[in-house]
Amino acid sequence: MTDVTTATESVEAFAARARDWLADNMPRVDLDSPPRAARDDEGAWQRARELQRRLYEGGFAGICFPRQYGGLGLDIAYQEAFNAETIGYEMPLILNVPTFTICCASLLDTGSEAQKRQHISAALRGEEVLVQLLSEPSGGSDLAGLITRAERDGDGWIINGAKTWSTSAFAADYGLLLARTDPTVPKHDGLTMFLVPIHAPGVTLRRIKQVDGSDEFCEEFFDGLRLGGDAVVGEVNDGWKVASRLLFHERRAVGQGSEFASGRGRERPAEFLANLLALAAAAGKADDPMVQDKVGRVLARRMVRDRLVDHVAQAMRTGSLPPAAGSIIRLFHSDVTFLEVDTASEIAGALGVVGDDDQDSLVGVGERYLSRQSVALGGGSDEMARNVISERVLGFPREYASDRGVPFNQVKHNKL
Amino acid sequence: MTDSTAEAALFVSTARAFLDKHASLSDVRALHASDRSYDPAWWQRAAELGWTALLVPEALGGGSISGNPLRDLASIAEEIGRTVAPGPLHPVSTVLAGLVEADNHTEHSDAINALVSGTQVAGWAVDEPGRAFHPQQPLLAATATAGGYRLDGVKDRVEAGPQADMFLVTARTDDGPRQFLVSADAPGVAVRRQRCVDLVKRYARVEFDAVQVDDAAAVGSVRQAPTLITRQSQIATVLQCAETVGILDTVFTMTIAWARDRHSFGRPLVSYQALKHRFADMTMWLHACRAITAAAVDEIAAGSPDAGLWVSAAKSYLGEHAGPLVQDCVQLHGGIGVTWEHDLHLYLRRITLYRSMFGTPSEHHQAIYRHVDEAGIPA
C-alpha cells in the first residue's frame, strides 16, 4: 500500500485524494440499476475480493482499522467522507457484513495480537473472508444453549457438532465458532470462541437451499476438526464475552452505525420490489387510486426507515439509547419488507402466481412472497427483537428461564 | 453544546414550564367545562415568550435565537402536545409564514405586528365544505373589481375561526390561486362555530358573501401565491406532526408507568410477554414518528424541492400509527382508559383530529406516488 496518509491530512484533503483515486481506479455504476451482487453467487465474492484488493493497494482500505493491522488508523470522519465519494462507484459492499463490521471489529476487541495481525490485514487485502458460526440446528434463539463441543487434545482442541444459518460461509476462509468447552457450569460460563478454517479436514459444508431458490446460507458439520491452542479467541470458557462483542457489532452494523463499513448503498433488492411503480404499470394498474395509495404507503415507509436508521444510530452513538436499540431497526426492516412483499403481491394479483414464462413474467413476485418470513427470522427472530426492546431498551422484567444458574449438563434439551 | 443549541434548549424548557403551570390537563378540562377555547391573556403571554416571533424576520418584529426557527417552532408544538394545550399556535404560525414571505409584506405589517404580539389572532381559511384538502384548487371565487376583489364562497374547518380577528383566505382567480387577508368583521363575512372532537380546539365555517377587499389585501403576487400556499401547507402539516409526537411520547410514557405499577396474578403487567411485545412495537412506532417528523422539519427548513414528499411521508405515517398506538395504550389501561375521568381521551381526541386534517394518510400516499412518478425518481 502507498503511504501518503499522514495524521495531519485534513478530511477535505483526504476526500479530494479519494475522489481522484476512485475516478482512476474503481468501476462506475449506473445508480438507477447497480449491478446485483447476490450473496449466493460465487462470482460476486471473487469480484468483491478483487475490488477490495484495489482499495488496499490504493491506500483506502480499513480507514478506521489501526495501522499495525493494515488499516489507516483514521477517525470515522474520514470514513464518512470516503463513503460520500464512493457514490456512483462499484464497491465491495458484501464484505462489510459480516467480515469487516462484525468479525474483524470483534477480533480487534478480543483477538490476540497474532490473530489481529494475520486476519484483519488479510481481510483488508481482500484475501480473507470471515463469517460467524453461531446458530445451531438444535435451536436458533437460545444461542448460549448451543451443544457443539470443543474438547482438549494436548495443547489443541477437537471440535464436534454442527452450525447452521451461517451467511455466505461457502465463500469464506475463516469462521468465528462458539463451542461448549465446559458442560458442568451454567450455559454462559462454559463457552469458548475459536477461529476456525472453513475448508479444512473435519469440516463438511452444505449450502441451504431456501424456498425462493437462493442458497446463500450454509450449514457446517464438524467431525473431529483439530485446532491448535492459538485458535482460541479471548479466554477459554470466556467465549460469551466474545460472542457479546459479535452481537454488539452486529447491532451496530445493522443500524448503519459501524465505522468499519466502507462504501454506501444497500445491496440491491429484487427488481420488482425495487420499483413498485414499474410493477403497477406492468400489472396495468398504474391509474388505480387504490394502487397508488398502497405504493405511496411503501414509499413513505422506506423514507421512514431511512430516517429511523439515522435517528437510532445517532441516539446509540450519543448514548441516549442503549446498544440494544439496534433491535428497533432490526424489527423495522421486517415491517418494511412485509409491507413491500405484501403490496407487490396484491398489485401483481394473479399475474404474480401464474403467467407466460417470458421475461415480462411477474411470477417472481409470488415466489418472493414464499420467503417473506426470512427477514423476520434472520439475525434473531422478530420475537427475540421484541424481547430485547422491551427488556433492554424499556427495562421490563426478563422472561422466565429454567436454565438460569443451572449447570448445562443438568438442563433439559430437545426431546428429539 | 454551542451557544445557539443552549439557547434553543432554554427556550423550549421555558415553554414547557409555562405550559405546565398555565396549560395543564386540568386547565384544559376547566376551559372545556366553561365552554372556552383558550384565555386570550394567556395567549398574549405565550406570544411574549417568543412563540409567534419564530418565523418572522427581525426586521419585521420577529426573531429566533437558534438559527433554525422552524425546528424551534416544532419543539414548541411538541411541548404543547404533552398537555394537549389550547391556543392558536398552528393557524397563527401558518398565516404569519405566508405574510412575512409575501413580496408585498410591507402592506401587512400591522397584521404581522398584531399577530406577533398576540393581541390578534388569524385563521387560515383554506378548506372548503365537503372537499378534501386541495389548497391549490380553491373554489371560493375572487372576482376583480375596480381597485380590488370581491370574494364569494364558503370555507370550513378554519382553526381558531370563532376567535380569529382576520382570515387568510385562499381563492380562485382568473390568474390562478391567490390569498387575501380579510378582517373577520368585514361586511359579508359570517362565522359559524363547528363541532369538533377536540375539547378546546375550535373550528368554524366562514361564509364570504360579496366581501369587498382592496388590492392591498392580496398576499403575494400571482406568481408567488402557489409557492406561499405550498409552504403554509407544509408548515401547518408538520406542526400537527410535531404536536402528535409530543402526545405519543407522553401517552406512551404514562402507559409504561401504569403497566409497571399495575399487578395482576401477582405480577406487574410489564412482565407479560404478550404485553412486552406490544410495548416493543409501540417503541418502534414512536421512534419512527419522531425520526420522520424531524426529517420533514429539516427538509422544509432547508427549502428542499422534495420537502412536500417528506411532509407527506410524515403525515401519512403518523396518521396511520398515532391512532393505533394511543388506542393500544387505552387497551393496556383497561376499563379506566375509556372513562371521561382518565386523561387518555384528551390525547386521543387531538390525534384523531389531526389524522384527518390537511390530508388523510391515503391522500398523502397518493401525493407521494404522483410526486415520485412525475419526478421520475427510481422507486
- Domains in chain A and their CATH numbers? 11-127 (1.10.540.10), 132-248 (2.40.110.10), 269-393 (1.20.140.10)
* A301 interfacial to chain B (CB closer than 8 Å): yes
What confidence tier does B366 reach under pLDDT thresholds 50, 70, 90?
very high
CA distance A106 to chain B (A): 28
pLDDT for residue A272? 57
pLDDT digits (tens, 9 = 90+) for A128-171: 999 999 999 987 788 999 999 999 999 999 999 999 999 889 99
User: What is the average pLDDT score of chain A?
Assistant: 91
Query: Contact A343/A296 with Cβ under 8 angstroms?
Result: no
Mean pLDDT of chain B: 96
Measure the CA–CA gap between A102 and A9, rounded to whole angstroms: 28
In this prediction, residue A274 carries a pLDDT of 73
pLDDT at B298 over 80: yes
Second-level CATH architecture of B122-217: Beta Barrel (2.40)
Q: Do A394 and B256 touch (CB under 8 A)?
A: yes
Residue with cell 382508559: B337
Best CA proximity match to B71, nearest among B299, B233, B297, B245: B297
Q: In percent, how much of chain B has pLDDT > 70?
A: 98
pLDDT digits (tens, 9 = 90+) for B336-350: 999 999 999 999 999
Residue A360 near residue A278, CB atoms below 8 Å: no
* DSSP for residue A180: E
Burial state string for B34-48 with b = 16 or more CB within 10 A and e = fewer than 16: eeebbeeebbeebbe
Contacts of B142 (CB under 8 A, 6+ apart): B149, B150, B151, B171, B172, B173, B178, B180
The model's confidence at residue B32, banded by pLDDT at 50, 70 and 90, is: very high
pLDDT for the residue A138: 86
CA B368 to chain centroid: 21
Q: So what's the pLDDT on residue A333? A: 92
Give the span between the Cα atoms of A389 and A398, in whole angstroms. Answer: 11
Please, what is the angle between helix B25-33 and helix B344-356, to 10°? 80
Q: Which residue has the cell 417568543?
A: B50
Cell representation of residue B298: 429539516
Helix extents (H) in A226-288:
239-254, 271-274, 276-282
Span A226-269, pLDDT tens digits: 999 999 999 999 999 999 999 889 877 876 678 899 987 655 44
Is A296 close to B317, i.e. CB distance below 8 A? no
Q: What number of residues does chain A have?
A: 416
- Name the residue of chain A whose CA is nearest to B373's CA: A277
Most confidently predicted of B67-71, B189-193, B302-306: B189-193
* pLDDT tens column, B58-94: 999 888 878 899 999 999 999 999 999 999 999 999 9
Residues A88-133 have pLDDT tens digits of 899 999 999 999 999 999 999 999 999 999 999 999 999 999 999 9
The nearest alpha carbon in chain A to B292 belongs to A304
CA distance A226 to chain B (A): 43
Task: Report the share of chain A in percent with pLDDT over 90.
Answer: 76
Residue B56 DSSP label: S
Nearest to B366 among A275, A289, A390 (CB): A289
> How far is the C-alpha of A352 from the C-alpha of A364, rounded, in Å?
7
Residue B212: its H or E element = strand B203-214
**Do the domains B122-217 and B3-117 match in fold?**
no
CB contact under 8 A, A277 and B365: no
B369 in Cβ contact with A277 (< 8 Å): yes
Which one of B252, B278, B284, B316 would you mutate to disrupt binding with A, by most A Cβ within 10 Å of its Cβ?
B284
A350: its cell numbers: 394473479
Q: What DSSP string runs through A196-238?
A: EESSSTTEEEEEPPPTTS---EEEEEEEEEEE-GGGEESSTT-
Q: What is the pLDDT of residues A267-313, one digit of tens each?
A: 544 555 678 999 999 999 999 999 999 999 999 999 999 999 999 98
Count of pairs with CB atoms under 8 A, one residue in A, one in B: 122
Domain ranges of chain B: 3-117, 122-217, 225-375
A414 vs A167, residue with greater confidence: A167
Q: What is the pLDDT of residue A2?
A: 46
Across the interface, which of A311, A328, A390 has its CB nearest the CB of B279?
Answer: A390
Q: Kindly determine whether residue B316 and residue A300, on different chains, have CB atoms separated by under 8 Å.
A: yes
A293: which chain B residues are within 8 Å (Cβ-Cβ)?
362, 365-366, 369
- CB of A253 within 8 A of CB of A102? yes
Q: Which residues sit opposite A178 in a β-bridge?
A: A193
- Say yes or no to pLDDT of B283 above 80: yes
- The CATH architecture assigned to B3-117 reads Orthogonal Bundle (1.10)
What's the topology of domain B225-375? Butyryl-CoA Dehydrogenase, subunit A; domain 3 (1.20.140)
- Chain B residues contacting A via beta carbons under 8 Å: 256, 268, 270-271, 273, 276-277, 279-281, 283-284, 287-288, 290-292, 294-295, 309-310, 312-313, 316-317, 320, 361-362, 364-370, 372-373, 378-379
